[in-house]
Each structure stands twice: as structure tokens, then as C-alpha cells.
Amino acid sequence: MKYVLLFCAASQDLEAWQALSDEARAYKRAQASQWIAEHSAQIRKSYGLHLPHTVTSVHFGAGSQPLVTDGPFLEGTEVIGGLAEIEVADLDEALQLAKTWSVHTPGHPVVEIWPMVEE
């Protein structure tokens, strides 16, 4: 089965991340890269995402007229910092993989597991 892992953080986690020195952030990024390399048999693709203030959204409302806005569509204090497409036998294996995510404090201490629609 294929799943997408979303690496999520609350606003206070994002603030803690931004408060780190450049060297500390580089170290955390290297840890994430190492984790991805260690699980390359299961991870098909992975992407880091820029901070929420860089996001642009296109909304389709009444009459299907597009409205372009700055910022993410999802409201709240949580952000998605990256994602990985994985291929595993089942949800149990996806959970085992997610539980090994060690690049979590400060940074992205929550991993959401989303099943992918395969057509």
C-alpha cells in the first residue's frame, strides 16, 4: 500500500525551529536526510516545504471564479513542513516507519499517515 507521511508542527514548534542557529537547523536537516536514506527501501519520494508565509492558494467559489490569496488554505496554528510517499505492506508497517521519525524536537513532532488513492 502507498501512504503519504505528513511531517507536522504547531506554531510553537515552528517558532522553536526558527530560533535555532543556522548550524543547528543544518544539523536537523542532515538528520532528516539520514532518516530518509536509512528508509530508502520504503520511501519513494520526499519533499521539504518552505514556511507557511511563502504559500499561495487558489480558491474556487461561487461561479467557479478563482480567487488567489496569500497563505495556506488550512487555518490554524499547525503547519506541514514536509512529506514523504512511502510504499509498505500495510498500515502497521507505515506506523512502524513513522515511529522511527527522530527529527522531531524542535521541528515537526507529528507524523500523519494518509492512505493514497491508487487508480
State pLDDT tens for residues 46-84: 998 888 888 898 888 777 788 888 877 777 778 888 999
Give the CATH superfamily of 2-115. Answer: Dimeric alpha+beta barrel (3.30.70.1060)
| Burial environment of residue 36 by CB neighbours within 10 A (0 to 12, 13 to 18, 19 or more) | middle
Domain boundary assignment for the chain: 2-115
Confidence class for position 105, pLDDT limits 50, 70, 90: low
- Residues of the chain with pLDDT > 90: what percent? 45
- Residues of the chain with pLDDT > 70: what percent? 97
The 3-class SS string of 3-65 reads EEEEEEEEHHHHHHHHHCCHHHHHHHHHHHHHHHHHCCCCEEEEEECCCHHHCEEEEECHHHC
Say what the pLDDT of residue 52 is: 83
Is residue 103 pLDDT above 80, yes or no?
no
